[in-house]
Amino acid sequence: MPSPKWTFASRFRRNAFGWRSSLPIQRLKEAVSEIRSVARTDRAIAAEGAVLLLEKLSPALEQVDSSSGALGSAVNRAIDTLVAVIVAADVTLAVRRRWLDRLFEALQEDQMPYIEHLGEHWGTLCVPELASERADRLLPLVTHVLQAEGFNYFVGTVPCLSALFAVGRFEEVVELAQRDRLKSWWYRRWAVDALVSLGRPGDALSLAEASRGLNAPEHAIARACETILLGCGMKSEAYERYAISANRAGTYLATFRGIAKKYPERPQETILSDLIRSEPGSEGKWFAAAKDAGLFDQAVALSRQSPTDPKTLIRAARDYETTQPQFAMECAVSALQWMEAGYGYEISVTDVIDAYDALVAAALVGRVPMAAVDDCVRSLIRNANSLVGRALYTRMEAARR
């Protein structure tokens, strides 16, 4: 099969990158774009390029610091795209078998690992014609490893489960996962999905719940349980039992939005109250969620109850100084209070002045006398020599001139 000279090939040589992750993430995006561009005219050649990139990824990324998770996420997104390119190619089974052999070898050489997510797509990669064949090839060793004493690992376990699932061999998936002496969720999750496909959601829920334990991924298990109940139309029970733990996101606001979107029949006030109760002492962190829902009084109350990011409060004060001046004033005052109390990340004089200016602007819209604003500000200052105290006195003096 003719192949173009891929630009990414020379960039993804072994140990091509240092410890910083920004450059490899950029190069990975460029490589995926290059392959997708070729796919518009020749899917088979693009698929060959996708296989080549997947082979090169782990050796090239071995020295990169992936502790932030950004690189791992970028690689997983790339894998999702590349798998689709490979599956879409119109090639003979012989060619596809060669691709599968190369990709399985890449999985075995994946030391860090970076491309283990590829195993979850194995059933899709095999296409229906090859899935059973590949599963049967892996099955004896997978069965032996799962039943053996001690801690054992075989890179082919997830690919085997994926291939069995892809061709509807659900009973075998369940039996195989139950052989796992260590009861790993990453194997059991295939059995949970298989039980659902067999029309046994109750058994699937029981198996998922039984998978909880030390080092078990609570978030993933809760999401699987929630999905089962939602699929059975048991929306109320799904919300009560799993919504919060299943939909935890990178930020408090994203968590709230995710749950509100999934359960639109629930009042947003109720969802927010449930979230607040789930984390006592973190009330201020839900400020942005309350603001996003238009619950301004609740947002203000939260910002007073526990530490709230001053910069978030300042942004809210600026955003609402003309449409909700009273709310904006409360946000600015809370920002000054928390900065004076020592909260906030890398707080500077500029932040203090921004909060004061937002307070003044909102007061003007709300027709609040400046004397009252200055009295309020002075009452906030505990120490005239603090960063907040010096910045405010300087700004107030300048405003009087």
pLDDT at position 384 over 80: no
Point out the least confidently predicted range of 218-222, 226-230, 336-340, 369-373. 369-373
pLDDT at position 223 over 70: yes
Residue with more model confidence, 139 or 214: 139
CB 349 within 8 A of CB 385: no
Share the mean pLDDT of the chain.
93
For residue 59, give Cα distances in angstroms to 56, 78, 106, 153. 6, 16, 9, 21
Average pLDDT over residues 250-278: 95
CB 122 within 8 A of CB 73: no
CB 48 within 8 A of CB 80: no
Point out the least confidently predicted range of 160-169, 179-188, 228-237. 179-188
For residue 78, give Cα distances in angstroms to 33, 36, 214, 367. 10, 11, 31, 54
pLDDT at position 311 over 90: yes
Our CA angle for 51, 56, 60, nearest 5°, is 160
Q: What was the pLDDT predicted at 399?
A: 63
The per-residue DSSP string of 104-131 comes to: HHHHHT--S-SSGGGGGGHHHHHHHHHH
Helix axes 70-88, 122-147, angle to 10 degrees: 120
**Predicted TM-score (pTM) of this structure:** 0.85
The percent of residues above 90 in pLDDT, for the chain, comes to 82
The percent of residues above 70 in pLDDT, for the chain, comes to 98
Dist. CA 267–CA 271, nearest whole Å:
7
Quick one: 179 exposed, middle or buried, by C-beta within 10 A (0-12, 13-18, 19+)?
middle
Q: What was the pLDDT predicted at 119?
A: 96
pLDDT at position 26 over 80: yes
CB atoms within 10 A of CB 88: 13
Average pLDDT over residues 25-33: 97
pLDDT at position 213 over 60: yes
pLDDT at position 171 over 60: yes
CB 317 within 8 A of CB 355: yes
Q: What was the pLDDT predicted at 373?
A: 86
Average pLDDT over residues 34-43: 96
Segment 107-130, tens digit of pLDDT = 999 988 899 999 999 999 999 999
Residue in this structure with the two tokens 């955003």, named with its chain if needed: 319
pLDDT at position 383 over 80: no
